[in-house]
Chains A and B, each alone.
Chain A
């Protein structure tokens, strides 16, 4: 084979293989971060989030200015050859989100916070049904987005999942002889708020959650 043909074959083969790696948990992480922005800050603008979703859908583009990206994304029909694959329903969710952004890329806070949490709940019911029964949607989204995807969290032992979010206390315990932490982000779920013995419940919840995440990964995300 000639040199130029070898290069072309490798480029198309790499693009095909990269496309299999970008999966639906990126969409869950995107909506979790939008919901977190709406909870934390007073009047946030979403230029950064719009750029994230543009790079997921069209990773090989050459547009770098954020305002141009915003205009491009509103016009396009969200079907991508090289990036994330979306169903018809998911395209509808994204278009609803993009319609409500005004010219400064901001959202009206009261109305949109509920809408985004409803979208997040539907996505998690579709892709992570077993983990959805154990813990709330917002906390599950934050767990996955703080680790960086479901491909990294399903391998972790349950004691790591119990302590996600408490890394400062954990390393203080390891190096400075302070007492060990018992819970991290899991502390904010309803089961632990109502329980009498919080440390024991946190351990039991993390044990069952790690099994549920592995079942969900092998049903919906693995080949």
Chain B
């Protein structure tokens, strides 16, 4: 853990910036509260925290990354770090103290990404904008377009898909969805 210099917000490292470069609507209003699943060391979270006055809840599962997140939260003014598994919705609900969430962002590479998203979407209401970054290689090693079709059919039961795109040339075999809840 060395002293980090201020690096550029590069689309090769951060999925949020890639989505912005590809003209998917990831704009932040002035007073938005954000729930960010999969925060890791907090590079993207640090850039986002300067664009809004609301709170950012950053969730991370591994202890080494969470130590860097807590250090970042002590310096900045609107980041609340949560060290827990993203599947544990009870603890997440307890730590958020009934704040209204405007944007939900998920970037977790695991086999059950879609199930985590469906569970976490029960914490937000119908007006919330949901941004989902899909890594097809962690679900299966088959043709990525076939995995994309399977994921789309699962998502259409619970969400309205507004836009989706692939993230070439910055990230390979990744897709990005903009969703809204149905009910």
Chain A interface residues toward B at CB < 8 A: 1, 3, 6-7, 9-11, 13-15, 17-18, 21-22, 55, 59-60, 64
Contact = CB atoms under 8 A, between A and B. Distances in A.
Contacts of B78: 3, 7
Nearest to B67: A59
A166 B55 CA distance: 48
B42 interface: no
B8 to A, nearest CB: 22
Interface in B1-45: 1-3
Nearest to A55: B1
A18 B2 contact: no
Interface stretch (B81-89, B101-109, B164-172): B81-89
Contacts of A55: 1
A17 B83 contact: yes
Interface residues of B, number: 24
Contact of A3 (B3, B55, B81, B83): B55
Contacts of A64: 2-3
5 contacts: A13-B82, A14-B66, A14-B70, A18-B66, A60-B71
Given A6-B99, A18-B63, A21-B63, A11 B55 contact: no
B29 to A, nearest CB: 17
Interface SS of B by simple majority: mixed
B55 A6 contact: yes
Contact of A11 (B1, B74, B99): B74
A7 B1 CA distance: 23
B57 to A, nearest CB: 8
B97 A14 contact: no
Nearest to A14: B83
A11 B3 CA distance: 21
B124 interface: no
A17 B84 contact: yes
Contacts of A10: 57, 73, 80-82, 95
A6 B97 contact: yes
Nearest to A65: B3
Contacts of A18: 63, 66-67, 70, 83
Contact of B73 (A1, A11, A21, A22): A11
A27 to B, nearest CB: 16
